[in-house]
């Protein structure tokens, strides 16, 4: 007897998402999301046997980090510096007061 796959209407976000769903999850189009991944501003996907998937928790963490950077309006150079630290894996996104 053939086993059937469970149908799911995704009333909840899945843990791992393909490109289109990951982009939509963070409110971006596919092209902009892909640009941000290339630039290191969004996480790189996991490679599941050649099938790229983005982890929802990584996306949530990245959006939270970006919100922290943008919370206080700062000169572009200060924001770029914080984004560079994020890209290198740093979690300290504190911006200078002033």
CA-to-CA distance for 6 and 3, rounded, in angstroms?
9
Give CA–CA dist 5/26, Å, rounded: 28
Helix, strand or coil for residue 48?
strand
Question: Which pLDDT score, from 0 to 100, does residue 95 have?
Answer: 55
Q: Please say whether the dihedral angle defined by the alpha carbons of residues 95, 40, 37 and 77, taken in this order, is positive or negative.
A: positive
Of residues 61 and 7, which shows the higher confidence score?
61
Among residues 87, 50, 32, which one has the least CA distance to residue 65? 87
* The domain defined by 16-87 carries CATH number 2.60.40: no
Residues 32-82 have pLDDT tens digits of 999 999 999 999 999 999 999 999 999 999 999 888 777 765 667 777 787
pLDDT at residue 10, as a whole number: 63
């Amino acid at each position: 007897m053939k086993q059937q796959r469970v149908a799911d209407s995704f009333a909840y976000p899945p843990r791992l998402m393909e490109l289109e769903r990951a982009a939509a999850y963070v409110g971006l189009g596919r092209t902009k999301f892909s640009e941000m991944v290339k630039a290191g501003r969004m996480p790189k996907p996991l490679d599941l046997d050649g099938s790229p998937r983005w982890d929802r928790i990584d996306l949530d963490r990245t959006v939270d980090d970006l919100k922290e950077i943008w919370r206080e309006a700062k000169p572009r150079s200060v924001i770029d510096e914080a984004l560079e630290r994020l890209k290198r894996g740093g979690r300290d996104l504190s911006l200078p007061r002033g």
